[in-house]
């Protein structure tokens, strides 16, 4: 029996890859304009990094990590997200000593052992961005302006931005107690998971998808009504700046996030078109994370976009595969050899050219040119070769011209560069 791939880990094939490349290129362009530079970190880290940053009582750390012990006895984990590894690298390489402000982005695979379904996979890809060193609400608004702009330029339909504030270590503990009190009185109505975690991670109960839990928590106290003066002012200013930058959003006081490092501003870009997996991007502020990981006291904010979900949403509108500029069709051995040299010469000049390698009939060669949607076909026959000539057929215009083989290279370059 042949070997198949691992469940929940997908191949991205030609035909789909063009959409991915488009999404990645657009991110590089947009993020570059906003002053972000790329960082690449390994796919595996010491397990402790994720336990300390994401939080011991989160679903990710409790249930979803790909953790194993390597041959040297180190417990390693395939990264379930990118923020913690980027912060680890930031601290390790003392990037703050080079520049007090870092704007970084990353693109790559993440791993979570979740139950695979449409839009949810075990290996998935994120485009993430992080700003370290600024706690001014202007940067929260600018991060969201950049995220919204990215969605606009990539023409992702039907997405909207939801924001919330999760407070800070000053105001959250009091809120947490109030929430635990509220839940305690309704314990018997909660699902088994929520009954277990209502004291360890009560905010997650607000995010539970079980209908009974949803119903019970409708009147639960909201963090937004319990913010301290500093957090309240910060959130108000974020909203004011978003209004000034004309970024559309709604406030969702029930939004909680599946990672424990968040403080103050949190947000999700949601869609109605992907069923249960409705978050296409998410993030927030994490002002204590760098310190908690042993680094300097520096604030941070960022987000990650789920590439699979974006590609699914682009679906039908996805990017067309590239078309060869030329297909070389030949008749007879001498013409085939001349065509083969021409092929390589043109490819070395950077022009996408194809030919049939196995000596098929002219008809079969033209069929292939058609199949791969070549823009032009060059036909070289024995007689023409002797005269140094060839026929150049423009496929989209149904016209054909006789051209000198020697002048083909410059003719094509002119046409392509001038196009």
Residue nearest ligand HAM, Cβ-based = 306
- Tell me: does residue 114 bind ligand HAM (CB under 6 A): yes
- Tell me: does residue 90 bind ligand HAM (CB under 6 A): no
Region 303-322 residues binding ligand HAM, contact defined as CB under 6 A: 303-304, 306, 308-309
- Tell me: does residue 258 bind ligand HAM (CB under 6 A): yes
Q: Which is nearer to ligand HAM, 181 or 292 (CB)?
A: 292
Q: Out of 36, 121, 150, 175, which residue is the one contacting ligand HAM (CB under 6 A)? A: 121
Region 191-220 residues binding ligand HAM, contact defined as CB under 6 A: none
Q: Which is nearer to ligand HAM, 265 or 330 (CB)?
A: 265
Q: Which is nearer to ligand HAM, 52 or 112 (CB)?
A: 112
- Tell me: does residue 126 bind ligand HAM (CB under 6 A): yes
- Tell me: does residue 133 bind ligand HAM (CB under 6 A): no
- Tell me: does residue 105 bind ligand HAM (CB under 6 A): no
Q: Which is nearer to ligand HAM, 247 or 304 (CB)?
A: 304
Pick the piece of the chain touching ligand HAM (CB under 6 A) from 44-52, 76-84, 141-149, 246-254. Answer: 76-84
- Tell me: does residue 283 bind ligand HAM (CB under 6 A): yes
In the complex, the smallest distance separating the C-beta of residue 326 from ligand HAM, rounded to whole angstroms, is 40
Q: Which is nearer to ligand HAM, 263 or 336 (CB)?
A: 263
- Tell me: does residue 159 bind ligand HAM (CB under 6 A): no
**How many chain residues bind ligand HAM (CB under 6 A)?**
26
- Tell me: does residue 260 bind ligand HAM (CB under 6 A): no
Q: Out of 59, 130, 287, 356, which residue is the one contacting ligand HAM (CB under 6 A)? A: 130
Q: How far apart are CA 304 and CA 185, in angstroms?
A: 36
C-alpha pair distances (Å), 60 with each of 43, 55, 112, 259, 393 = 16, 8, 7, 8, 58
- Tell me: does residue 143 bind ligand HAM (CB under 6 A): no
- Tell me: does residue 120 bind ligand HAM (CB under 6 A): yes
- Tell me: does residue 59 bind ligand HAM (CB under 6 A): no
Residues that bind ligand HAM (CB under 6 A): 81-83, 112, 114, 119-121, 124, 126, 128, 130, 258-259, 279-284, 302-304, 306, 308-309
């Amino acid at each position: 029996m042949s070997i198949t791939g691992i469940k929940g880990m997908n191949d991205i094939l030609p035909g789909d890859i063009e959409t991915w490349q488009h999404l990645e290129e657009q991110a590089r362009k947009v993020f570059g304009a906003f002053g972000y530079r790329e960082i690449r970190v390994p796919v595996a880290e010491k397990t402790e990094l994720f336990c300390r940053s994401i939080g011991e009582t989160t679903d990710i750390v409790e249930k979803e990590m790909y953790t194993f012990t390597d041959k040297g006895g180190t417990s390693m984990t395939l990264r379930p997200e990118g923020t913690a590894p980027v912060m680890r690298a930031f601290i390790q390489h003392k990037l703050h000593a080079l520049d007090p402000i870092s704007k970084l982005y990353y693109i790559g695979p993440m791993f979570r052992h979740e139950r695979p379904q449409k839009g949810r996979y075990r290996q998935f890809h994120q485009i993430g961005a992080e700003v370290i060193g600024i706690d001014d609400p202007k940067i929260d608004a600018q991060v969201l302006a950049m995220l919204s702009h990215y969605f606009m330029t990539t023409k992702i339909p039907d997405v909207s931005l939801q924001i919330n504030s999760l407070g800070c270590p000053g105001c959250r503990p009091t809120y947490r107690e109030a929430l635990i009190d509220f839940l305690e009185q309704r314990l018997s109505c909660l699902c088994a998971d929520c009954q277990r975690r209502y004291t360890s991670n009560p905010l997650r109960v607000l995010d539970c998808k079980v209908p009974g839990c949803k119903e019970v928590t409708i009147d639960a106290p909201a963090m937004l009504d319990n913010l301290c003066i500093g957090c309240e002012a910060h959130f108000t200013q974020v909203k004011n700046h978003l209004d000034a930058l004309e970024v559309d959003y709604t406030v969702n006081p029930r939004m909680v996030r599946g990672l424990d490092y968040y403080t103050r501003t949190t947000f999700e870009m949601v869609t109605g078109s992907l069923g249960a997996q409705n978050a296409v991007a998410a993030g927030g502020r994490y002002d204590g994370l760098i310190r908690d990981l042993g680094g300097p006291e520096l604030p941070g904010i960022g987000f990650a976009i789920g590439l699979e979900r974006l590609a699914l949403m682009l679906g039908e509108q996805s990017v067309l595969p590239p078309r060869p500029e030329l297909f070389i069709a030949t008749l007879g051995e001498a013409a085939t050899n001349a065509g083969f040299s021409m092929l390589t010469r043109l490819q070395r000049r950077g022009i996408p050219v194809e030919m049939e390698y196995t000596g098929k009939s002219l008809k079969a060669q033209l069929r292939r040119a058609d199949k791969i949607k070549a823009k032009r076909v060059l036909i070289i026959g024995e007689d023409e070769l002797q005269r140094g000539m060839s026929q150049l057929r423009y496929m989209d215009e149904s016209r054909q011209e006789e051209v000198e083989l020697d002048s083909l290279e410059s003719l094509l370059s002119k046409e392509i560069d001038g196009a």
